[in-house]
Structure formats: structure tokens, C-alpha cells
Structure 1
Amino acid sequence: MSSTTQKRLRRSARLIVLAPGDDGAPKVLMFRYDIPGRAPFWVTAGGECEEGESFEDAARRELFEETGITADPGEQIARTTPEFVTPEGEPVRADERYFIVRVAEARIDTSRHTELEQAWMNEHRWFALHELDDWHEALYPETLRGLIEEHAE
């Protein structure tokens, strides 16, 4: 790819799903991606907007598809614009919008995952906030703990 080639803009909605931990502090849902040839990494729920879909509508759809949770994601709390290579191998410029969803219990349903999600998203877990500081694998967004602490009230 030459330096003059434009990367595709990938619009996506990301969900910071919070549940109360045993100590009352929030814990956050993360999915582990294990893609052949790449180091494993963890991300929040969410994904790419469909053609003509708003970030808010994508947030609702992705939340249900990836977790089985039906909820209003509320207002956008953050935006990031990273450049990365998708699991399919496409370099993109991302426009990622973040939403916080609070749930009463840490139970999710992954039965609606696509075939690719089933292949790559082979694990999920609820992280205590302190675990985000020095986890042994990459966590995205890297500013997740700060976003939660700033907006979780």
C-alpha cells in the first residue's frame, strides 16, 4: 500500500458494559480476540456501523448481538480515531464512539455472534478496574479505566 493510498474510514460503536462487582465497584466486560498470526488482545463490545446507521443505533444493535442485552446506550461519552488493521487484515482509519451501559448482573448471551466472532472472540470476562492497569495482554481502548472513572457516576 503506498503512502498516498487512503485507508477506509471505519465507523464503529463501542460499548463499555459495566456490572457491579462483589465489592460494589464496577467491573467491565471485555472480549478476547485470538487471531492467527497476531498477539491476543481484549476489546469492549461493539463493532462497525452498517451503511447509513447512526452510532447510537449501531451501539444498540451491537450490544444485543454481542451480549444479548437490550438497553439504551445513552449518550456518547468519548471518541477515538485510531488506525489499525482489522481482524480480516484491512488497514483502516477508525472513528470509534463510546457508550456506557450499566447492567444489574454480569450475565451475557453470546449465541448471536457471527461465525467470525465465534472463531476470533473465544473468551470474555469481567475485569475489575485495577486489573486494567497491568494486564498481560493488550487492552483497547488503552484509556478504558480513565473513561470509566470519569463517566461511571
Structure 2
Amino acid sequence: MQSHKIADYMNPRPVIFTARMSIETAVEKLLSSGQRGGPVVDDNNRVIGFISEHDCLEAMLRDTYHKEQSATVGDCMYGGDVLTVASYENITDLAQRMDRKRPKIYPVLDENRKLIGIITRTDVLKAINLQLHDSYSKN
């Protein structure tokens, strides 16, 4: 199968979040974009966490139940080591690493470890499908 890079299939304009952003703003961004989660970045566009729909839902339910002030993305995000990929990596290699326990969305970083996009399982599936169709049409 011909080599195809993640950069060829990633979303170069993903919805991103900051730690200071309110959960309500994050939810509005997720809903309007259709994205299921996204990277949280610092002022230098470096990934410092990840926020998912599930994280937002938990925060909103908790805030509603306790009738408290809104939480921020920083209060609710996953702040551990976020699994990322490099733009030059092979899409097939990424597909082989994906399993049920792995993320559905990967932040894509450049050579300086700055965010330049995201790639989802759906993007990877489309890429593999295109590769298979290309190989069938050449036979």
C-alpha cells in the first residue's frame, strides 16, 4: 500500500480550547463544530490537555446539581500525557495502532511540537478506504 502521511488527511482547522475557557463556551464550540472533543492548548499553541464531550457533560451536570458557578476547561480536562501524532507519520501506521482503548481524536503536531491539526478515526477510515479504492482501480 502506498505511503500516505497524516498531514494529507488531518483537519488543519480544528476546534481548540484553552484552560481558561468556560465549559459553556467549550460546549457551544463542540456542538457547532460537530467535533467530539479537542486539544487544550497554551498561549504557545502547545497541547496541555484534552477535553471531551464526556468531560463537559460531567462538569455541567455537577454544576447544575450543586447550582455552582461554571467550571473552566482547565478544571475538567484530561491533563495527563495526551497521545499525539506527527504530521509526517504514515496514516496506515496510525490505523494499526488504533484500538478500542485508544483515543478517537489525535492532536497532530509539527516538528516543534505545536498543534497544527487533529485527525480522527473517521479521517483514518476515509484514508484507508481511499487507498483501497486506488489499489482496486489500478488492477
TM-score by shorter chain over 0.5 = no
Give the TM-score of the pair, scaled to structure 1.
Answer: 0.27
Q: Which has the higher helix share?
A: 2
